[in-house]
Chains A and B, each alone.
Chain A
Amino acid sequence: GIQVEQSPPDLILQEGANSTLRCNFSDSVNNLQWFHQNPWGQLINLFYIPSGTKQNGRLSATTVATERYSLLYISSSQTTDSGVYFCAVRGNDYKLSFGAGTTVTVRA
């Protein structure tokens, strides 16, 4: 299956700071999603973004499919942004493969 690497593995931010999370993948993909997992384990959809750029409030994402990477931007971070962010991709085998995640801690 497709290999998915996320960086950094951990990120500690002061409230109000901006950050960038990266997702690299090893092959062409048909589906790329970013999720936020809250402390209770719920995976929340952030973006469906196999290519291009999208924005939703303080979050935005860009995927450059030809270079096999995606970026998630968090601006003006808040404590509620804490949690684990996952990138997941689906290739031609139709299996959704997840990265190991980036654990974000936002301190007040």
Chain B
Amino acid sequence: KAGVTQTPRYLIKTRGQQVTLSCSPISGHRSVSWYQQTPGQGLQFLFEYFSETQRNKGNFPGRFSGRQFSNSRSEMNVSTLELGDSALYLCASSLITSLNPLDTQYFGPGTRLTVL
């Protein structure tokens, strides 16, 4: 079974631009979560989608948004990019979003975004 895939793997943008990142979960997984990893702040939760609905959201400004499609694929959008948005963006999928082992998160390889 294929793992979580993320595209693109690397991205360079300039301040003020917007960017869209894509995540395809493991087949059959319905929950997709996004995380931002930076050297200063570590790994931080952005948001989680389950069955096309945002189930949870972290403490990020409204410039960060996402959505999930009926096939469970998810996209994350960042508008009006700032230098501080440079980070590794990780996507994770799980079978369900609940309180049992099926909630095990499986991560993709990440998209490394550089904002100049």
Pick the residue among A40, A45, A93, A97 that contacts B109 (CB under 8 A): A40
Judge whether B48 and A94 touch: CB under 8 Å.
Answer: yes
Judge whether A100 and B42 touch: CB under 8 Å.
Answer: yes
Judge whether A101 and B42 touch: CB under 8 Å.
Answer: yes
Q: Chain A's nearest CB lies how many Å from the CB of B40?
A: 11
Contacts between chains A and B (CB distance < 8 A), count:
54
Query: A85: CB under 8 A from chain B?
Result: no
Chain A residues near B97: list those with CB within 8 A: 94
Stretch at the interface among A28-36, A63-71, A72-80: A28-36
Interface size of A by CB at 8 A reads: 23
Q: Chain A's nearest CB lies how many Å from the CB of B44?
A: 8
* A98 and chain B: residue at smallest CB distance: B43
Query: How far, in whole Å, are A99 and B56 apart by their CA atoms in the complex?
Result: 19
Chain B residues near A97: list those with CB within 8 A: 45
Q: Which of B14-41 contact A (CB under 8 A)?
A: 33, 35, 37
Judge whether A31 and B99 touch: CB under 8 Å.
Answer: yes
Judge whether B109 and A96 touch: CB under 8 Å.
Answer: no
Query: A39: CB under 8 A from chain B?
Result: no
* B70-106 to A contact mask, C-beta < 8 Å, 1/0: 0000000000000000001010100001010101111
